[in-house]
Chain A
Amino acid sequence: MVKIMEKIDKIKVENLSCFYGGKLALEALNINVVKNEILTIIGPANSGKTSFLRTLNRMNDFDANYARKGAVYLDDENIFYMNPEKLRKRVGMLFAMPIPLPMSIYENIVYAPKRLGLVSKKSDMDDIVKEALQEASLWNEVKDRLNSSAMKMSGGQQQRLCIARILAIKPEVILFDEPSSGLDPISTAKVEESMIELKKKYTIVLVTNNVKQASRVGDRTAFFLMGKLIEVGKTGEIFVSPKEKQTGDYITGRFG
């Protein structure tokens, strides 16, 4: 008997359109994200990739000009009918610029679990901090100064702290919004390493301006242009033999 690899769709997007102030930013998008994969999204500016990402955990809701149509399912549950706070607990997000909260490293990590009522005992908090920092491959660098201010860390460390902070609330999906646009190549490499480590346990959607980064970490890659999904497929195939000419042009740097 042939054992079929289990491929469950973690996120399914159906006919999603997004508008900013009446202007179409994303048009009739249909795409799925498979469990435990890294889906990378590439595309030039204004291609709708960030709008898409921010729709997945409803961070767009705070923008009064924003409107949307269609449906997004997380494990067969429509996220637009979910409680946004609960959704954001399950779908964590990492921003372009590392934004540690203005407190110590330790407090940064226990902040969300405490607020969400996941922990109350000091020993549990210690465990969560250690585990999260280890998963974000930061533990060895900061274990001796957990109580110093997070603002004093380097950019790459701050970004990994932000990853650890998300891991502390045990999400199912992690969204990365150009996580290395403000980092040097070595810090970028470290963030990419932790991403590949993380996909064993989490599903990851990565928006990046760096085409090479997509080819390094992505299992599948989607190419967005002017609010439309042009092509999505296995990263290897997209980079070697794209079906659409526009994809090839973008990847080889002829435009964008």
Chain B
Amino acid sequence: MKRKIIDFIIEKIIFLCGVLSIVFVVLIFCFLLKEGVSFFKDYDVFKFVFGKLWYPSSEPAQFGILALIVGSIYVTAGACLIAVPLGVAAALYISEIAPAGVRDVLKSCVELMAAVPSVVIGFVGMATLVPFVRELFDIPTGLTAFSGSIMLAFMAMPTIVTISEDAIRSVPWSYKEGALALGATRWQTIRRIVLKAAMPGIIAAIMLGIGRVIGETMAVMMITGNAAHIPSSIFEPVRTMTATIAAEMGETVRGGMHYKSLFAIGLVLFVITFSVNFIADLILGKKKRK
């Protein structure tokens, strides 16, 4: 009897924990929606998303976030261009080529990379990468979208490497054996069989990496220069959506237009990251059903 009661209680506690995590997400979303939508009552959505000028405190105030969206896209795309090939190649090396000793060391290093706080990465980037970029390309400032991309690539790498590596490792040995027994070389086997079979997992890893990059705030705020204009190249300062929210939230009047507009940015950001995660889930789900 007593065992049954304990069983019952524990079951309910675990149930509560599970439900709570959903409740929190829903609550956050509702809050964001409430503040964001009330902003759109006073300000046209179209003007908000496609407006080029972000002058939240001038008279009359301009809330156009196109420059911020473009800034986010520049930094994210740049980070992906760097992190995806590097990350997938690293995962391949760790899971397929590296000898056992090297593999263990590399794996723990990559996992350690994930544990570095973003403010530290931003700090290191500011002290080393920014002056380096300025001198290398001979530009007025090193605080550019390009520097931000490099730092963010660093942060996305651990996600991409660990998840791709899992996917690659879960390709059954018999597939490889089958290809090798037909006279395929190791590289042919990796390229045509291993990569192909692990592709859904690798795509999911990339998506999760992108999600991480889009949402990243601290490092980009420190490195990208925070100029809210549409850049003509990646060697110009940009400002991302996340950095805008973080930088300006402290100076707004609670309940004012500026305050609400930051929530609206959060809403746009939420929609973007949600779509990325949703697509990643779809791909992963497709893999499992196969």
Residues of A within 8 A of B (CB): 57, 59, 62, 85-89, 92-93, 95, 97, 99-103, 111-112, 115-116, 151, 162, 165-166, 169
Contacts and interface: CB of A to CB of B under 8 A. Distances in A.
Contact of A115 (B172, B177, B181, B192): B192
A95 B178 contact: yes
B174 A97 contact: yes
27 contacts: A57-B181, A59-B181, A85-B185, A87-B183, A88-B182, A89-B182, A92-B182, A95-B177, A99-B174, A99-B177, A101-B175, A101-B179, A101-B193, A102-B175, A102-B196, A103-B196, A111-B179, A111-B182, A112-B179, A115-B192, A116-B183, A116-B184, A151-B290, A165-B182, A166-B181, A169-B182, A169-B183
A85 B174 CA distance: 17
B183 A112 contact: yes
B192 A111 contact: yes
Contacts of A86: 183
A151 B174 CA distance: 14
Nearest to A168: B182
Given A101-B193, A102-B196, A112 B182 contact: yes
Contacts of A92: 181-182
A115 B188 CA distance: 7
Nearest to B182: A112
Nearest to B171: A102
A93 B181 contact: yes
Nearest to B191: A115
B178 A59 contact: no
Contact of A59 (B177, B196, B197): B177
A93 B197 CA distance: 22
In the A-B complex, list the 8 residue pairs whose CB atoms are closest, starting with the nearest: A89-B183, A112-B182, A93-B181, A88-B183, A99-B178, A99-B174, A85-B183, A115-B188
Contacts of A169: 182-183
A166 B175 contact: no
Most buried by A among B172, B184, B290: B184
B10 interface: no
B149 to A, nearest CB: 35
Contacts of B174: 95, 97, 99
Nearest to A151: B290
A61 to B, nearest CB: 9
Most buried by B among A57, A95, A102, A162: A102
Interface string B141-166: 00000000000000000000000000
Contacts of A89: 182-183
Contacts of A57: 181
Contacts of A103: 196
B182 A59 contact: no
Contacts of B177: 59, 95, 99
